[in-house]
């Protein structure tokens, strides 16, 4: 199992990443620690505002080709990926202590399909840490399945309320990646396709090979690369930060539509701003010295519907 935090520099900002903002229909729930990861396919096939023709695909100069499901099927058709997305905030988004007007205008444009939603502010560091706790859950389940009752097993058993997950333990491996989206100039980039040798290796891959590096290489391209723009749509203004959890399973598992985490965010400095009050966001609202280290995980729930 692996957790990789890919904090590559976003070339469009060339500034320090200091936090995240997320528009939400239920901002109070989000502030209180309810976080969701949804199937990647949810974002691929729904209509706007969620629909995105480049979500979960490798890219070439003309069209998206090869979905993340095609990559995962080389491992097993039972495998699945889940994501949660945020908009990054940088020091350069602020001036004289407050958020810039052009940043506010851009954020409102990003939420143009639901203009009345409030925004939730997360200090940098909180998001990565709280999703890392999710990896601990799967480690716990893996230990339980293998009956390797180590000190860590007993410690996690006391910390986490994981009754909802008791029947979900027939997976092989889990990875979590978190990072900023890389925006590609489709006019000048080479075609980003599966190279012939890698395709053959993936098609011949067996679970006994026990090496996910080739899967991770191409899943990264599906999840973390988008065009700068496509027709009238501009993607690079999104400054998107994404968390991706991938469950690898050869045994048949009924995969949930969503994974819900409940954390204690009381000491994390999570703040809500109404849509018409975004201009009041100060840099001190974003830069917050947390003492809760990402929030205490209370429970996790798999949602099937």
pLDDT tens digit sequence for 87-111: 999 999 999 999 999 999 999 888 7
The residues facing 39 across adjacent strands are 82
Tell me the two tokens of residue 226.
Answer: 């988008």
* Confidence category of residue 116, pLDDT binned at 50, 70, 90: confident
* Opening angle at CA 5, ends 32 and 24, nearest 5: 30
Calpha distance 294→304 (Å, rounded): 26
Q: What is the pLDDT of residue 255?
A: 87
Q: What is the pLDDT of residue 211?
A: 85
* Opening angle at CA 137, ends 132 and 138, nearest 5: 100
Residue 176 has pLDDT above 60, yes or no: yes
Residue 160 has pLDDT above 80, yes or no: no
Calpha distance 122→27 (Å, rounded): 12
Strand 173-180, strand 2-6: pairing:
parallel
Convert the pLDDT of each residue in 241-259 to its tens digit: 999 999 998 888 888 889 8
Q: What is the pLDDT of residue 9?
A: 44
């Amino acid at each position: 199992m692996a957790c990789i935090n890919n904090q590559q520099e976003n070339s469009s900002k060339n500034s320090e990443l200091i936090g995240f903002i997320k528009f939400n229909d239920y901002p109070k729930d989000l502030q209180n620690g309810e976080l969701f990861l949804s199937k990647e396919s949810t974002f691929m096939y729904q209509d706007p505002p969620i629909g995105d023709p480049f979500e979960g695909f490798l890219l070439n100069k003309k069209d998206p080709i090869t979905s993340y499901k095609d990559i995962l099927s080389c491992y097993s058709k039972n495998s699945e990926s889940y994501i949660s997305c945020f908009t990054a905030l940088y020091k350069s988004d602020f001036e004289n202590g407050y958020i810039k007007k052009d940043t506010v205008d851009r954020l409102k444009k990003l939420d143009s399909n639901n203009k009345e939603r409030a925004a939730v502010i997360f200090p940098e560091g909180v998001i990565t840490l709280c999703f890392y706790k999710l990896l601990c859950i799967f480690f716990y389940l893996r230990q339980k399945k293998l009956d390797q009752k180590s000190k860590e097993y007993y410690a996690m058993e006391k910390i986490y309320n994981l009754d909802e997950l008791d029947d979900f333990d027939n997976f092989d491996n889990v990875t979590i990646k978190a990072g900023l989206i890389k925006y590609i100039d489709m006019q000048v980039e080479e075609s980003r396709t599966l190279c012939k040798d890698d395709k053959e290796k993936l098609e011949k891959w067996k679970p006994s090979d026990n090496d996910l590096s080739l899967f991770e290489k191409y899943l990264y391209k599906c999840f973390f690369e988008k065009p700068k723009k496509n027709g009238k749509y501009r993607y690079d203004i999104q400054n998107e930060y994404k968390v991706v959890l991938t469950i690898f399973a050869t045994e048949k598992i009924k995969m949930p539509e969503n994974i819900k985490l409940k954390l204690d965010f009381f000491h994390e400095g999570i703040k809500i701003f109404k849509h018409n009050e975004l201009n009041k966001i100060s840099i001190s609202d974003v830069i917050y010295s947390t003492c809760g280290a990402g929030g205490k995980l209370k429970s996790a729930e798999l949602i099937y519907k």
